[in-house]
């Protein structure tokens, strides 16, 4: 089976806390099997310019998303390595299996976020509000959660937390 890969850039608007629209280009990487019509991506869903779903194939690596609103967004399997999400809102967002290595999440609102199977190696989440978050099967090596509120969060079957800081 031979796979062909292609990239598509979609314009979108994300909203900051003060309801200022921010234009971004989102790179969507999709894989289609040659000879078969196989699509492995979930389409991006926007409602009134707000990102609701970008699951499966969105490449947001090294992006600057400071202060943006991702509340209730489906961001499963999204690539967010080295992204800057400081001060963003991710309340009740689903980041299961997301790749967040080296991401900056300092001061984020992450109450109720789902991070099942997510990779948070070397991610910085200092001073974040992470109550009721789910960290099942998450990789946390070198992650920093200093001064974060983890009240009611679930840490089960953690893959690794070597060098993580929770002070």
Question: pLDDT tens digit string along 4-34?
Answer: 333 333 444 444 444 444 444 444 333 332 2
For residue 163, what pLDDT band results from cuts at 50, 70 and 90? Answer: very high
Average pLDDT over residues 26-55: 41
Number of CB atoms found within 10 A of residue 48's CB: 7
Question: pLDDT tens digit string along 120-143?
Answer: 999 999 999 999 999 999 999 999
Measuring CA to CA, which residue among 88, 76, 80 is closest to residue 45?
A: 76
Between 129 and 68, where is the model more confident?
A: 129
Distance between CA 116 and CA 148 in Å, rounded?
A: 19
**What residue ranges in the chain does DSSP mark as E strands?**
3-15, 21-33, 45-47, 50-53, 58-59
Between 38 and 152, where is the model more confident?
A: 152
State residue 30's pLDDT score.
Answer: 34
State residue 126's pLDDT score.
Answer: 97
Question: pLDDT tens digit string along 72-116?
Answer: 888 888 888 999 999 999 999 999 999 999 999 999 999 999 999
State residue 77's pLDDT score.
Answer: 84
State residue 57's pLDDT score.
Answer: 55
State residue 55's pLDDT score.
Answer: 54
State residue 54's pLDDT score.
Answer: 58
Tokens of 60: 């947001």
């Amino acid at each position: 089976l031979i796979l062909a890969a292609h990239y598509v850039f979609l314009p979108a608007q994300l909203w900051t806390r003060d309801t200022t629209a921010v234009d971004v280009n989102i790179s969507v990487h999709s894989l289609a099997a040659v000879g078969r019509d196989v699509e492995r991506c979930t389409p991006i869903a926007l409602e009134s310019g707000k990102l609701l779903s970008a699951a499966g194939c969105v490449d947001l690596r090294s992006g600057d998303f400071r202060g943006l609103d991702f509340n209730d967004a489906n961001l499963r399997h999204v690539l967010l390595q080295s992204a800057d999400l400081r001060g963003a809102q991710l309340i009740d967002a689903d980041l299961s299996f997301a790749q967040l290595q080296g991401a900056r999440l300092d001061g984020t609102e992450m109450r109720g976020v789902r991070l099942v199977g997510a990779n948070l190696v070397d991610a910085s989440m200092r001073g974040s509000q992470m109550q009721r978050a789910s960290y099942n099967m998450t990789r946390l090596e070198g992650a920093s959660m200093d001064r974060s509120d983890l009240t009611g969060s679930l840490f089960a079957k953690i893959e690794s937390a070597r060098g993580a800081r929770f002070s």
